[in-house]
Amino acid sequence: MEENIKTSVKDFLIDEVLRDFSNNSKDDAIKQQLAVLRNEKIEEPVIYIGAGTCGLGAGAGKTLKAVEKYLKEKEIKARIIEAGCIGLCSSEPILDVHLPSYNRVSFEKVTEDKVVSLLDKVFSLEIPEENILGQFKTHESKEWEHVRYFNEHPFFAPQKRLVLKNCGIINPVDINEYIARGGYKSFIKAINIYKSLDICDIIEKSGLRGRGGGGFPTGRKWKFANAEVSDQKYLICNADEGDPGAFMDRAVIEGDPHRVIEGMAIGAYAIGATKTYVYIRAEYPLAIERLIIAIEQAKEYGLIGHDIFGTGVDFEIKIKKGAGAFVCGEETALMHSIEGKRGMPRPRPPFPTTNGLFGKPTVINNVETFANVSNIIENGSEWFSAIGTPSSKGTKVFALSGKIALTGLIEIPMGTKIRDILFNIAGGILDNKKFKSVQIGGPSGGCITEANLDIEIDYESLIKVGAMMGSGGLVVMDEGTCMVDVAKFFMNFIQRESCGKCIPCREGTKRLLEILESITGKPQKENNEALERFKAVMQMEKLCYVIKETSLCGLGQTAPNPVLSTLKWFRDEYEAHVFDRKCPAGVCKNLKEYNINVDACTGCTVCSKKCPANAIVGSKKQAHFIVQDKCIGCGACYEACKFNAINVI
Amino acid sequence: METTVNELLQKYPEGKTENLIPILQDIQDIDGFLSESSVVKVGQHLKLSTSKIFGVATFYNQFRFKPLGKFHVQVCRGTACHVLGSSTVLEEIEKSLGIKAGNTTKDGLFSIEVVACIGACGLAPVVNINGNFHAKLTGEKIKDIIENYRNQ
């Protein structure tokens, strides 16, 4: 019986929706059935739980169990759907309740202990005052009074969600819902009415540029590959999101995997590739799991496979798990990794579009780039190019994290001011502290300071101020962040991830790290250490430029950016570290000096017992003393002292 | 173990170099690490020299050559986690387990691994223990969490 219903839904969607891609005036019966499949018209209550990685991290799994238990105890028949991430990580776990004939309504911070009281209220048609995120306009449903709409929430109001349209809203592993919301129509339209070169044209005219960081025009790249003659071409989706601080690709795949598959299918048709790969980080197990399910579903519906919908188009998709190497985000390194080799870059040209994976023409695009494609085919290139700035079209997804009130994923039109992102959308700096900088673009990117907060975000404007788009991670830093420490953090990352092929990158980044370590390290009085440090600092900038100019791949060429950028905007902090041996933000432990106020010390000996370095001497009931040469600056004594007798300088 | 590696290799009958990384990943999923004997077997199957396989395996951060502890503690050291104090969290874990990152405790209970970014930046600092996320950590919180695992 169930099998029959499943087949009939499948047939309905394939015959009435997908094959009928150009006909938008649907009769009422079809509209009603689509509303059912979209989960808008429901017979029994539906409870959605945001179960992306961040939701699960915040305790969505426990919330889910509590909901199941509640429904069982109260004998309520309701469906539970594990949705992806809506983007507001700091409000997780997020739980939505959709009662028949009422608007769907969303609640934030629903930890397991809150489930019972919340559901009790909602099921008796009462909306509690706290924890409301907003209600969604739902097909033919009553609205909840005095509850704001979701798109009126300050975090969501300024956003333009095209790529993230379905994320957190739909059931990510239900192909029916995706199709009922207009999915795969663009793909079927593309292979039925457009020639492959037409698709390249549309994408080129739309102005879509690679969202992985480089910003190369996608349509042009596709044209290069389209023009190649070869028995086999490949298309690769780069989901090796290695930038620390970026998680948009993960969220898109977890929340709406079919959108990525559809974009890849259209791309493959446009360049004439039949075999495609998704190269995805092994650190994203949930994304991989959902992608596998989505691929199986698409196969069942004949959207992946041989002779799709009788058009003669073949499309095959394989998942390759990355093995944890940052450099594999670089396209030639990524291809080597798929081939089973060490992921080291090679010189370009030849470009992958002529000589790529296994020596064949290959196009590599980022997850977000593919996620944009179906919208462009559906709405046309003019629609897309009307959004954004003259040089950068469309929207961009950013991952907001660090010392900011609201963290998560946002999608905004290109050209939005960074100040608006931080202070309007994300609610300003955490704990009302003073803003210092926002780091954009990961280890290859740079810092944006107060002075540049009003630039309008696009590929060019960011480069002008010494940063870059990268994949779009925005890490916010406040007055309590030490920029020298941040530079040291990135250099530590990069020197570990340098593949070792080019000496300037392999050795240079290590030297940069050593210099930064000596600047932030414990002052030593012997060995001319101070002189060495000054010499090193004087040469640091020069070394940066050597690395930039003589490295082969993008990783090496951008490796010194964290140092150059912090040096440019925060030279005073470097100087404080070098000349005064002080860390203005109080982060660099080794530059802190602790001493004991003899008058306040009661000689309780707690600090000397806590000290891991045995640096505190003194006998019982006598004032103690810190031996500075032994002190490692850990602050254990400071935390242990009950008499506030320890000073930090 | 011997047989599982052999069974696994049957899944990749073509013996293409392209399958090297997936094979190593599968072995590590089952055994928890790559042992010398399994690497030799893979070499025979794919007709690759052992040194070449080690060359590939050591290039990637994912592969380990030592067994893991019962509880595998992955500490995220991404940018957001760093800015919000993951170095203190890592120090605290190292201190309470008495080992450095990359090692396993003598009783085989815990192993620590530093990972670049888990992608849960909105919940920084994050630690992942055997697939369970622990979010918004402080030095104090992680101490209790480790103790809880120890008493399990």
Q: What is the pLDDT of residues B115-144, one digit of tens each?
A: 888 878 888 899 999 988 899 999 889 999
Whether A323 and B55 lie within 8 Å, measured CB to CB: no
For residue B55, being part of any structural domain is answered with: yes
In whole angstroms, give the CA distance from residue A144 to residue A134.
10
- Tell me the chain B residues in contact with residue A476 when contact means C-beta distances shorter than 8 Å: 83
| Number of domains into which chain B is organized | 2
Residues B29 and B93 grouped into a single domain: no
Residues B88 and B40 grouped into a single domain: no
Q: What is the pLDDT of residues A189-240, one digit of tens each?
A: 999 999 999 999 999 999 999 998 889 999 999 999 999 999 999 999 999 9
Looking at B35, B59, B83, the residue that finishes a domain is B59
Q: What is the mean pLDDT of chain A?
A: 92
Measured in degrees and rounded to the nearest 5, phi and psi for residue A225 equal -70, -35
Whether A323 and B63 lie within 8 Å, measured CB to CB: yes
Q: Is the pLDDT of residue A516 over 60?
A: yes
Q: Is the pLDDT of residue A616 over 70?
A: yes
Name the residue of chain A whose CA is nearest to B23's CA.
Answer: A340
- Fold designation for A20-152: Glutaredoxin (3.40.30)
Q: How far is A55 from chain B (nearest CA, A)?
A: 9
Q: How far is A342 from chain B (nearest CA, A)?
A: 5
**Exposed / middle / buried, residue A308 (Cβ in 10 Å: 0-12, 13-18, 19+):** buried
The second-level CATH assignment, the architecture, of A592-648 is 2-Layer Sandwich (3.30)
Q: Is the pLDDT of residue B21 over 80?
A: yes
Whether A245 and B79 lie within 8 Å, measured CB to CB: yes
Share above pLDDT 70 across residues of chain B, in percent, rounded to a whole number = 98
- Tell me the chain B residues in contact with residue A497 when contact means C-beta distances shorter than 8 Å: 116
Whether A340 and B119 lie within 8 Å, measured CB to CB: no
| pLDDT for residue B122 | 84
- Fold designation for A395-481: Ubiquitin-like (UB roll) (3.10.20)
State the residue range of the domain holding B117: 71-150
Region A318-338: mean pLDDT is: 94
Q: What is the pLDDT of residues A415-433, one digit of tens each?
A: 999 999 999 999 999 999 9
Region A457-476: mean pLDDT is: 91
**A465 or A26: which carries more pLDDT confidence?**
A465
Q: What's the complex ipTM?
A: 0.92
Residues B22 and B82 grouped into a single domain: no
Whether B55 and A54 lie within 8 Å, measured CB to CB: no
Whether B121 and A473 lie within 8 Å, measured CB to CB: yes
Q: How far is B3 from chain A (nearest CA, A)?
A: 24
Q: Is the pLDDT of residue A634 over 90?
A: no
Region A547-554: mean pLDDT is: 94
In the structure, what pLDDT confidence band is assigned to residue A525 with cuts at 50, 70 and 90?
low
- Fold designation for A484-580: de novo design (two linked rop proteins) (1.20.1440)
In the structure, what pLDDT confidence band is assigned to residue A3 with cuts at 50, 70 and 90?
low
Residues B39 and B110 grouped into a single domain: no
Q: Which stretch of A226-240, A334-348, A522-536, B71-85 has the lowest confidence by average pLDDT?
A: A522-536
Region A43-60: mean pLDDT is: 91
Considering only CB atoms, B83 lies closest to which of A90, A326, A475, namely: A475
| pLDDT for residue A235 | 98
Q: Is the pLDDT of residue A106 over 60?
A: yes
| pLDDT for residue B3 | 67
- Tell me the three state secondary structure of residue A83: strand
In the structure, what pLDDT confidence band is assigned to residue A526 with cuts at 50, 70 and 90?
low
| pLDDT for residue A213 | 81
In whole angstroms, give the CA distance from residue A49 to residue A36.
19
Q: Is the pLDDT of residue A392 over 70?
A: yes
- Tell me the chain A residues in contact with residue B135 when contact means C-beta distances shorter than 8 Å: 57-58
| Parallel/antiparallel/unpaired status of strands A275-280 and A316-321 | parallel
- Fold designation for A184-385: Rossmann fold (3.40.50)
Residues B135 and B83 grouped into a single domain: yes
Predicted TM-score (pTM) of the model is: 0.93
**A251 or A632: which carries more pLDDT confidence?**
A251
Q: How far is A281 from chain B (nearest CA, A)?
A: 10
Residues B80 and B113 grouped into a single domain: yes
Q: Number of A:B CB contacts under 8 A?
A: 143
Whether B56 and A285 lie within 8 Å, measured CB to CB: no
CATH number of the domain encompassing residue B6: 1.10.10
Whether A407 and B19 lie within 8 Å, measured CB to CB: no
Looking at B10, B26, B59, the residue that finishes a domain is B59
CATH number of the domain encompassing residue B97: 3.40.30.10
Total residue length of chain A: 649
Tokens, residue A204: 């080129």
Region A284-299: mean pLDDT is: 96
- Tell me the chain B residues in contact with residue A284 when contact means C-beta distances shorter than 8 Å: 119
- Tell me the chain A residues in contact with residue B117 when contact means C-beta distances shorter than 8 Å: 242-247, 283
Instruction: Order across the sheet with A275-280: list the strands.
Output: A316-321, A275-280, A234-239, A362-366
Q: Is A326 on the interface with B (CB under 8 A)?
A: yes
| pLDDT for residue A586 | 86
In the structure, what pLDDT confidence band is assigned to residue A635 with cuts at 50, 70 and 90?
confident
Residues B37 and B75 grouped into a single domain: no
Beta carbons within 8 Å of A637's beta carbon, 6+ residues apart: A594, A607, A608, A610, A611, A616, A626, A646
Largest CA distance in chain A: 91
Considering only CB atoms, B60 lies closest to which of A245, A323, A486, namely: A323
Region A283-293: mean pLDDT is: 95
In degrees, rounded to 5, the angle at the alpha carbon of residue A163 between the alpha carbons of residues A159 and A167 is: 85
Looking at beta carbons, which pairs linking A350-355 to residues 24 or more positions away fall under 8 Å?
A: A351/A224, A353/A221, A353/A224, A353/A225, A353/A228, A354/A224, A354/A228
For residue B66, being part of any structural domain is answered with: no
| pLDDT for residue A25 | 62
Residues B122 and B53 grouped into a single domain: no
Q: Which of A451, A486, A455, A458 is nearest to A398 (CA)?
A: A458
- Tell me the chain A residues in contact with residue B16 when contact means C-beta distances shorter than 8 Å: 340
Whether B59 and A325 lie within 8 Å, measured CB to CB: yes
- Tell me the chain A residues in contact with residue B21 when contact means C-beta distances shorter than 8 Å: 320-321, 323, 337, 340
In whole angstroms, give the CA distance from residue A91 to residue A68.
21
Q: Is the pLDDT of residue A122 over 70?
A: yes
For residue B50, being part of any structural domain is answered with: yes
Q: Which stretch of A68-72, A128-132, A189-193 has the lowest confidence by average pLDDT?
A: A128-132
Residues B8 and B47 grouped into a single domain: yes
Q: What is the pLDDT of residues A436-453, one digit of tens each?
A: 999 998 888 999 999 999
Residues B55 and B75 grouped into a single domain: no
For residue B23, being part of any structural domain is answered with: yes
Percent helix, strand and coil across chain A, each to the nearest 5:
45, 15, 40
Whether B60 and A57 lie within 8 Å, measured CB to CB: no
Considering only CB atoms, B116 lies closest to which of A54, A242, A320, namely: A242
Whether B84 and A403 lie within 8 Å, measured CB to CB: yes
Region B23-34: mean pLDDT is: 92
Region A237-244: mean pLDDT is: 90
For residue B135, being part of any structural domain is answered with: yes
Q: How far is A473 from chain B (nearest CA, A)?
A: 10
Looking at B30, B59, B88, the residue that finishes a domain is B59
CA distances to A387, A581, A608, A625, A632 from A636, in Å: 54, 21, 10, 14, 10
Question: Domain extents for chain A?
Answer: 20-152, 184-385, 395-481, 484-580, 592-648
Q: How many CB atoms lie within 10 A of CB A427?
A: 15
Q: Is the pLDDT of residue A2 over 60?
A: no
Side-chain-side CA neighbours of residue A177 (13 Å)? 19
> Chain B interface residues facing chain A, Cβ-Cβ under 8 Å?
16-22, 24-25, 55-56, 59-63, 77-84, 115-124, 126, 131, 133-135
H or E element that contains A520:
helix A503-520
